[in-house]
Amino acid sequence: MILNISKTKNIMLICFIVFIVGLASWYIVEQRKENAIPEKADLVYEDQIKFFVEAGSHAN
């Protein structure tokens, strides 16, 4: 009887943890969607291109 209760509690605890982790990851994804600034992403992309172009010109 005691084993059955502890098994049920363990299963409930695992399900609760999985639920919380899923909820947290969903929340983080939603926040990133709202806070995504395309201009900033483009700037980072341009900086990477400039870096590679400069590295290539120095290599030559």
pLDDT score, position 53: 77
Residues 13 and 20: their CA atoms lie apart, in Å, by 10
Average pLDDT score over residue span 37-43: 58
> For the chain, what is the domain count?
1
Question: Can you give the pTM of this predicted structure?
Answer: 0.45
Residue 36, SS3?
coil
Residue-number span of the structural domain to which 50 is assigned: 2-59
Measure Cα distances from 12 to 6, 7, 29, 47, 51 in Å: 10, 9, 26, 49, 51
